């Protein structure tokens, strides 16, 4: 039973995200579950839907039978399953991961950083350089999408705006009103996630994704024009770069104050207060970058689709999706 309908595949992928987040909750990994909930089930479904709306719903028929690829996949997965037999048992105390750096994080992070959520302490302070790498990767992905998918705004504004059927918007009256009442709560909750990351599950990545999901919802319900009036694409591109810059400048400041790169002890006179300030600033940078890159990807694909629709509307004979 092979599904060729990409839409249905996206739905099943969303179910996979839901299930794996439930799995992480059951394993007591709250922060990972939070990330999986917002990224795996939320924003990736949204982005895949945007992509499908550009590429079309059907998978192209393949002529050849990909048996060799299937063989490689089965072989690799069998090797991986064989490799798990060498792993320590789940929860065994003498597993290598429990003896390397984890005891230091668990024992000393309260004295050194004084953040109740140790995951945030590890992510934003001990491993700040790794997180910086992740942010740069996200930023690079945004730049790549922008370079590949962007259409010049002049080409769009010159031609006539496409006459969309008004009925499409009239149909959605109920949902627009419900969504309008929900937007303040979504933004408030995203801010809570952003700044509550020191104490509970949450942080910049999750908050950025929730922000971006709210903006994408707005763009879908009220049209791309209204959304670009709220945030101009140029502003988004600027902000995405600004988030990375904010993150990196914290490291530069610690260097100038005589410490190591991302050693927040040197930010302020009091090391604990310096750690708190550093974590707050870099989480803010992460949040801004993630939000802007996600919105940028969505806008890029939507603008590309609109340009295509205009091309089809001018020369309707060529339109074969």
Partner 1 sequence: MDLVISISSGICLLLGSFICVSGSIGLLRFPDFYTRMHATSVTETSGVALILIGLMILSPDLLVFAKLVMILLLGLLIGPTTGHVLAKAAYHNGLKPKLTKSGNEQSSVPSSERGGDISKS
Partner 2 sequence: MIIAATLAIFCAMILAISRAFMGPTLYDRILAVNSLGTKTVLLIALLGFVMGRPEFLDIAIVYALINFISVIAVLRYSDSNQFKENSSENEPIGKER
Q: Under the rule (CB under 8 A), what is the footprint of partner 1?
A: 5, 7-8, 171-172, 174-175, 178, 181-182, 185
Cα-to-chain-centroid distance, residue 80:
28
Q: Is 303 in the site for partner 2 (CB under 8 A)?
A: no
Least distance to partner 1, CB of residue 175, Å: 5
CB 139 within 8 A of CB 289: yes
Identify whether the C-beta of residue 262 lies closer than 8 Å to the C-beta of residue 251: yes
Alpha-carbon distance of 152 to 223, in angstroms, equals 19
Q: Which is nearer to partner 2, 149 or 212 (CB)?
A: 212
Considering beta carbons, is residue 38 or 120 the nearer one to partner 2? 38
Considering the rule CB under 8 A, would residue 234 count as an interface residue with partner 2? no
Q: 113, 101, 84: which is closest to 197 by C-alpha?
A: 113
Exactly one of 149, 213, 286, 293 binds partner 2 (CB under 8 A); that residue is 213
Binding flag, residue 6, partner 2 (CB under 8 A): no
97 binds, among partner 1, partner 2, none (CB under 5 to 8 A by kind): none
174 lines the binding site for partner 2 (CB under 8 A): no
Number of neighbours of residue 287 by Cβ within 10 angstroms: 27
Find the shortest distance in angstroms from Cβ 38 to partner 1. Answer: 15
Give the separation between CA 306 and CA 304, rounded to whole angstroms. Answer: 5
Q: Which does 181 bind (CB under 5 to 8 A by kind): partner 2, partner 1, none?
A: partner 1
Q: Which is nearer to partner 2, 10 or 254 (CB)?
A: 10
Least separation in angstroms between CB 7 and partner 1: 8
* Both structure tokens of 185: 């709560």
Q: Could you say whether residue 229 binds partner 2 (CB under 8 A)?
A: no
CB of 174 to partner 1, least distance (A): 6
Grouping H, G, I as helix, E, B as strand and the rest as coil, residue 178 is helix
> Which of 181, 169, 166, 247 lies closest to 214, judged by CA?
181
Q: How far apart are the first and last CA of the chain?
A: 26
């Amino acid at each position: 039973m092979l599904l060729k309908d990409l839409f249905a595949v996206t739905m099943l992928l969303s179910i996979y995200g839901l299930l794996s987040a439930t799995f992480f909750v059951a394993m007591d990994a709250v922060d990972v579950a939070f990330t999986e909930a917002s990224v795996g089930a939320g924003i990736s479904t949204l982005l895949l839907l945007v992509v499908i709306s550009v590429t079309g719903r059907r998978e192209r028929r393949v002529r050849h039978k990909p048996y060799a690829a299937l063989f490689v996949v089965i072989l690799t997965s069998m090797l991986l399953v064989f490799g798990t037999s060498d792993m320590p048992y789940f929860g065994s105390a003498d597993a290598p991961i429990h003896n390397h750096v984890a005891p230091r994080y668990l024992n000393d992070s309260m004295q050194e950083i004084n953040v109740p959520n140790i995951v945030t302490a590890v992510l934003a302070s001990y491993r700040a350089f790794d997180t910086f790498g992740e942010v740069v990767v996200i930023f690079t992905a945004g730049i790549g999408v922008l370079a590949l998918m962007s259409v010049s705004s002049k080409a769009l504004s010159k031609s006539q705006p496409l006459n969309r059927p008004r009925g499409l918007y009239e149909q959605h009256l109920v949902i627009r009103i419900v969504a309008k009442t929900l937007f303040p709560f979504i933004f408030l909750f995203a801010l809570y996630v952003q700044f509550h990351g020191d104490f509970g599950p949450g942080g910049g990545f999750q908050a950025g994704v929730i922000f971006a999901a709210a903006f994408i919802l707005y763009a879908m319900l009220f049209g791309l024009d209204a959304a670009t009036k709220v945030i101009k694409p140029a502003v988004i591109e600027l902000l995405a770069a600004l988030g990375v810059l904010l993150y990196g400048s914290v490291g530069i400041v610690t260097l100038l104050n005589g410490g190591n790169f991302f050693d927040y002890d040197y930010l302020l006179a009091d090391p604990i207060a310096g750690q708190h300030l550093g974590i707050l600033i870099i989480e803010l940078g992460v949040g801004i970058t993630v939000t802007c890159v996600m919105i940028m990807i969505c806008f890029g694909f939507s603008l590309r689709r609109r340009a295509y629709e205009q091309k089809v509307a001018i020369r309707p004979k060529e339109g074969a999706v």
